[in-house]
């Protein structure tokens, strides 16, 4: 545990470095929200949030140092989430909005019209 001096510095340095990175990323996402990038805004924010989560999980929760099984479980949660998102959104995105007036805009994603505002 408390053997090499390197281990001790490393123990203090890494969390601080990760904290700085997280704060900077948070500020970046906050700042970018005010830029008029319309569609790109959302994906940028989510991408930054994603990297923050990955940083937190790998270093602060020490997934890097833990067993393969634990890493597998961490990924499994996210994988199952993708099943749910993919198939549910496949329903919403494929509901016809125009044409034979199949379903009114109330619950259908109108790709042509609101691509911009996504």
Partner 1 sequence: MSDAVTALREPWPDLDRQREGVSVGIWLFIASEVLFFGALFLGYTVYRTLYPEAFRIAGAQTDVFYGGVNLLLLLTSSVTMTFGVDASRQERRRTTLVCLGLTMLLGTAFLIFKGFEYSADIAKGLFPGAHFPLQPPQTQLFWAFYWVMTAVHAVHLAVGVGVVGVFALILWRRLLPIESPGMLGVATYWHFVDTVWIILFPLLYLVGRS
Partner 2 sequence: MTNAAIADAAVGTEPASYLEAGHTLISWLTTTDHKRIAILYAISITLFFFIGGIAIAMVRLELMTPHGLFLTSDAYNRLFSLHGIIMVWFFLVPSIPATMGNFLLPLMIGAHDVAFPRLNLLSWYLYVFGAAFTVYALLSGGVDTGWTFYTPLSTNYATGYVIAAAAGVFVVGFSSIATGVNFIATIHMLRAPGLTWFRLPLFVWGMYTVSMVMVLATPVLAMSLLLVIAERAFGLPIFDAARGGDPVLFQHMFWFYSHPAVYIMILPAMGVVSEVIPCFARRAIFGYTFMVYALIAIAVIGFMVWGHHMFVAGQSPLANLVFSFLSFIVAVPSAIKVFNWTATLHRGQITFEAPMLYALGFVGLFTIGGLTGLFLASVPIDIHATDTYFVIAHFHFIMVGGTVSAYMAGLHFWWPKVTGRMYSEAWARFAAITTFLGFNATFMPQFVMGWDGMPRRYHYYPDVFQAWHVMSSVGALILAVAYVLPLIYFGWSLIYGRRAPANPWNATGLEWQTSSPPPKENFLRLPRVEVEPYAYSDTDQVSGANNRMPVRAQGETA
Partner 3 sequence: MTTDSFMTAASDYASEVDNTFWVLVTISGLITLLVASLIAGFSLRYRRGSSARRGPLPERFGHEVEIGWTMATLFLFLFIFWWAASNQLSALDVPSNALEVHVVAKQWMWRVQQPGGAREINEIHILENQPIRLVMTSEDVIHSLFLPTMRLKQDVLPGRYTFLWFTATKTGVFHLTCAEYCGTDHSVMAGRLVVMTAPDYARWTSAQPEADDLAHQGEALFFALGCSGCHAPTSSIHAPDLRGIYGHAVPLADGRIVTADEPYLRDSILLPEKDIVAGYAPIMPSFRGAVSEDDLVKLIAYLKSLSTARTLPSRQAGEDEVPTGAQ
Among 39, 37, 34, smallest CA distance to 111 is for 39
**83 near partner 2, judged by CB under 8 A:** yes
Q: Which does 78 bind (CB under 5 to 8 A by kind): partner 1, partner 3, partner 2, none?
A: partner 1
Which of the stretches 6-14, 16-24, 41-49, 78-86 binds partner 2 when contact is defined by CB under 8 A?
78-86
Maximal CA-CA distance, the chain: 74
Among 49, 65, 51, 48, smallest CA distance to 14 is for 65
One character per residue 55-94, x = contact with partner 3 (rule: CB under 8 A): ----------------------------------------
Question: In 3-state terms, what secondary structure has residue 66?
Answer: coil
**102 near partner 3, judged by CB under 8 A:** yes
**61 near partner 1, judged by CB under 8 A:** yes
Which of the stretches 20-28, 44-52, 56-64, 79-87 binds partner 2 when contact is defined by CB under 8 A?
79-87
Q: For residues 73 and 87, give the distance between their C-alpha atoms in angstroms, rounded to a whole number.
A: 22
DSSP state of 94: T
**111 near partner 3, judged by CB under 8 A:** no
Q: For residues 81 and 76, give the distance between their C-alpha atoms in angstroms, rounded to a whole number.
A: 8
Q: Which does 87 bind (CB under 5 to 8 A by kind): partner 2, partner 3, partner 1, none?
A: partner 2
């Amino acid at each position: 545990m408390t053997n090499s001096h390197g281990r001790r510095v490393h123990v203090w340095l890494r969390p601080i470095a990760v904290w700085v990175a997280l704060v900077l990323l948070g500020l970046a996402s906050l700042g970018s929200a005010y830029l008029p990038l319309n569609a790109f805004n959302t994906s940028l924010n989510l991408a930054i949030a994603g990297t923050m989560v990955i940083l937190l999980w790998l270093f602060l929760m020490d997934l890097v140092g833990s067993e393969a099984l634990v890493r597998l479980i961490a990924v499994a949660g996210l994988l199952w989430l993708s099943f749910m998102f993919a198939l549910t959104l496949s329903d919403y995105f494929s509901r016809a909005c125009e044409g034979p007036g199949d379903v009114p805009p109330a619950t259908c994603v109108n790709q042509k019209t609101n691509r911009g505002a996504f």
